[in-house]
Amino acid sequence: MPDPKERSSRREVTGVGRVAGQITFLPTADLRATHAFYQGLLDLPLVRDQGVCRIYATAPGAYLGFCDRGYVVPEDHRVVLTLLVDDVAASFERLRVAGAQVVAEPAHSARYAAITAFVRDPNGYLLELQRFDEPLP
C-alpha cells in the first residue's frame, strides 16, 4: 500500500489522473557503456533490466531508461538530462576523476538561480548536475 505522505505530495494532473512516476527513455548504441556510466559511475540503481532496455532510478517515481537501438539521438536534436543533486561540486568532481567528458565546471547561474555543471555520457548526451538556490516544491 502506498505511503500516505508520498501520495499526498503527488499532484492530480488534469486529463490523465494521478501521475505515479515518470521515465525518460533514450536510445543508445552501446548499452554496456551506458550501464557502466549510469550505474557504475553515477551509482544510480538499476531497477529494471529488460534485456534491450535498462531503467535506472533517479528519485522516488523518477527514472531514466536506455534502450539498445543501435543509434543515439542526433546531436542537433538532443535533450539535456538534468539530475538535481545536493552538492554539484562534489558530484562533478567524482565524475571528472572517473573520466567523464567535462563540458562545463560548476558555476552559479544568476539567470537560472542555480549552480550547474555539465558532462557528456558515453552516448554524447549532455548531463547537467544542478542545485537550485531555492529547491523545487
Asked whether the predicted pLDDT for residue 20 surpasses 60, the reply is: yes
The pTM (predicted TM-score) of the whole model is 0.81
**Region 43-65 average pLDDT:** 97
**Region 95-101 average pLDDT:** 94
How much is the pLDDT for 78? 84
Asked whether the predicted pLDDT for residue 80 surpasses 70, the reply is: yes
CATH number of 76-137: 3.10.180.10
How much is the pLDDT for 110? 95
CA-nearest of 121, 136, 129 to 39 is 121
Percent residues over pLDDT 70 in the chain: 90
Cα 45 versus chain centre, distance: 12
Percent residues over pLDDT 90 in the chain: 78
Asked whether the predicted pLDDT for residue 29 surpasses 50, the reply is: yes
Q: Looking at the domain 21-68, which fold is it?
A: 3.30.720
Give the domain ranges of the chain: 21-68, 76-137
